[in-house]
Chain A
Amino acid sequence: MNLSLELPQWIISGITIGGIYALVALGFVTIYSVTRVINIAQGEFVMLGAMLTATLHNRMPLALAILVAVIAVTAIGAGVQRVALYPARRASMVTLIMITIGVDIVLRGIALIIWGTAPYSVRPFTPGPPIIVGPAVITRQALWVIASVIVIVVVTYLFFQRTMAGRALRASAANPVAARLVGIRPERMALLAWAGSAALAALGGAVVAPITFATYSMGLDLGLKGFVAAVAGGLTNPAAAVIGGLLLGVLESVGAGLHSGLQDVIAFAVLLVVLIVRQVGILGLWGRFGPRPRPA
């Protein structure tokens, strides 16, 4: 095994898949920042985006198919928030997590009924041979993935930092009481957060489908990895989530190259180390006993 030849390829594949993890992670961060809920079903939004694109793109132009898919999944995301999360908004954290698990199961079950277990393929967005970069090879679709991730991250950044709605979302997350005091409606923010995350996820699904095929079960794995990446950033830091996703993809890819079957272990071993070091390392012995503001 010639590392100098293999490594760049692994890194490039890693960045590609890492980009998807980053997108899923962004979705987690968005929902969590605004509503303090961990949406276990996030991965299913990716899956639905992929499946819908796969089904529709044979009957209409690809761009339209993707648009319809994204809109549909956005609606589903908003619907889930309204129907399953909003009524339970005062419930405990355990209950909320379990509700999203329930939603995850329902979405996956419906996908199974509609599409069955078979994988669906999607044509690459632009046809043509892969591009050679030094010792590595990138497929055109992978370029699409990377490009989309960059665009989405930039757009998301601009949205959150430059628009009033984005600021309001951040404010809602930072201090829900204060948000109400300036007239921001928390339920609306929650709805917006869920819809936005679903849209992001669906787009990610559409873009990655040509590479990974669309199957009803792809959501769980992607969701978990995205979750890992989000947590690496503390669940509230979008930049860290994106970097986390990319790093995770690369680590996985390299690990798989070295010994197949190790992908998952690497992801989670790294995660565990990061989590624990963060808690114990940064605040030392004090951990959760560190300086805490007394609630008013």
Chain B
Amino acid sequence: MSGDTLCALEAQDIEAGYGGIVALHGVSLHVGAREIVTVIGPNGAGKTTLLRAISGLVPLRRGRVSLDGSDVTGQSTEALVRRGLVHVPERRQLFADLTVEENLRLGAYTRYRHEPEAVERDFERVLELFPILRERRRQRAGTLSGGEQQMLAIGRGLMSSARVLLLDEPSLGLAPLITRQIFDTIAQLRDQGIAVLLVEQNARQALRVVDRGYVLINGRIVLSGTAEELMASRLVQQVYLGALPESGRELEGVAPDPEQPEM
């Protein structure tokens, strides 16, 4: 539980899934106002589903989501954007036929009417952050390379003046060098007062920049702690580096996270 400090984002006992499948079982986490928190875990663990459940793309079967202490459970994605919760999805979901500039400006869709100057300022700031986008501003978003598209997706997310940013696998398909760049940018976001929840397959890069993290396996949080704790954890090693054990049962021996409700 959050205790005294008001968390920017808090999710409690989330249960969600698709059709007959339950992908998340009682997941709880929180992100403070100037924190970067990561959720790591193998593919298929439910990380993307978790973000989609928080941002309203996937309905919650159980659980609560609150933003700065107020309950926003069940609100639509569009409404959450207006409240400052922005989701930058896996595989980017750009407007491929629109130009880079149009994509960025659309990021500010909820703001352009009442704060046009602020929007312009943010536009400039994003272009400074990702100079390659300035070069390509009139190009159709679909023609950009993977790394550039990812930058555009993050830039678009930033244009919405988000207070909580959900980033889904920002390093997807990107070269190591660009990934580093992007993660450095993400680290800067913290200083701007944005709370970031970052889902990543690339544990090592993620753990370099975040404050805290959760490990999600098969729809359950099995571990949580600071970045150093997680990096040192044997479980994380095994999940990501696949040591050659004889049986396949190592993961089942892990003690459940004390922060989670009894299962």
Contact = CB atoms under 8 A, between A and B. Distances in A.
A147 interface: no
Contact of A168 (B86, B89, B106): B106
Best-buried of A171, A183, A184, A296 by chain B (most CB within 10 Å): A183
A278 interface: no
What is the predominant secondary structure among interface residues of chain B facing chain A?
loop
Interface string B82-112: 1000111111011111100010011101101
Best-buried of A164, A168, A179, A181 by chain B (most CB within 10 Å): A181
A180 B86 CA distance: 10
Contact of A185 (B78, B86, B102): B78
Interface in A280-296: 296
7 contacts: A174-B98, A175-B96, A180-B57, A181-B77, A181-B87, A182-B107, A183-B78
A123 interface: no
A179 B78 CA distance: 8
A184 B109 contact: yes
Contacts of A155: none
Contacts of A174: 95-98
A171 B93 contact: no
Contact of B95 (A164, A178, A180, A185): A178
A167 interface: yes
Contacts of B88: 181
B197 interface: no
A164 B76 CA distance: 21
B81 interface: yes
A181 B78 CA distance: 6
Contact of A180 (B77, B97, B98, B105): B77
Nearest to B87: A181
Interface of B: 55, 57, 76-78, 81-82, 86-91, 93-98, 102, 105-107, 109-110, 112-113, 156, 160
Contacts of B90: 296
A150 interface: no
Contacts of B106: 167-168, 171, 182, 184
A166 to B, nearest CB: 10
Contacts of B96: 174-175
A90 to B, nearest CB: 14
B96 to A, nearest CB: 7
Given A177-B89, A296-B91, A183 B98 contact: no
A183 B109 CA distance: 7
A183 B57 contact: no
Given A171-B98, A178-B93, 20 more contacts: A164-B105, A164-B109, A168-B109, A170-B97, A174-B95, A174-B96, A174-B97, A174-B98, A177-B57, A178-B89, A178-B94, A179-B95, A180-B76, A180-B81, A181-B86, A181-B87, A182-B156, A182-B160, A185-B76, A296-B90
Nearest to B82: A183
Contacts of A184: 78, 106, 109
Contact of B98 (A170, A181, A186): A170
